[in-house]
Amino acid sequence: MDADELLTTTRSVRRKLDLDRPVEQEVITECLRIAMQAPIAGNQLDAVRWLVVRDPELKARVAGPVREVGEAAQRQYGHLVPPRSLASAKFLLDNIHRVPALVLACLAGRPDGGNAELTGFYGSIYPAIWSFQLALRARGLGSTITGYHLFGHEAEVARLLGIPEGFTQVALLPVAYTTQKDFRPAARPPVEEITYLDRWGARVS
């Protein structure tokens, strides 16, 4: 798989996660090692933390608040989502406790201020999250970024998993091998229609 194929076929995987095949911790560690090579702001390099949850009981307890918020969101906003996407999200909510590993990406500190501060904070870990997902894909695994529990249950999950005060949970990624290997590029807007040259609205020819 070359770089272009990797970048254009790494999807958010939910229904095609293999819930029964174990995921070796060495594989996750290797992918996290690669993830830490992503461009990260120098002053935040030592602030990144990863928490891998493999214990079945802990996964089930983390799944509770994720499912509670996710199901509420589906009831409220499900009519705005394409049926296929809604079914995919529902499958993950129903089965998230069965995923072999849940990986939490965390950063020391708490974002505040305006757009510049928020961009600097979250921009210091999202490249690493994406690199982690790419490394997983290259090894036949899949994932998706979830954050349902961050709506009102972040502190609960922090207590459950022993995450110290002063750390922000940025994303929860269910990780598993995939039951499908031949993912394809997804439908996206033509880049010529969303790219401007020099001035907003001036099309790139």
DSSP structural state of residue 173:
E
pLDDT digits (tens, 9 = 90+) for 31-54: 999 999 998 766 677 899 999 999
pTM: 0.94
CB 135, CB 31: distance < 8 Å: yes
At 61, phi and psi to the nearest 5?
-75, -35
Helices (H) and strands (E) in the chain, counts: 8, 4
pLDDT tens sequence across 134-162: 999 999 999 999 999 999 999 999 999 99
HEC secondary structure over 80-136: HCCHHHHHHHHHHHHHHHHCCEEEEEEEECCCCCCHHHHHHHHCCCHHHHHHHHHHH
Catalogue the E-assigned strands of the chain. Answer: 48-53, 101-108, 141-143, 167-177
Task: Determine contact, residues 57/109, Cβ cutoff 8 Å.
Answer: no
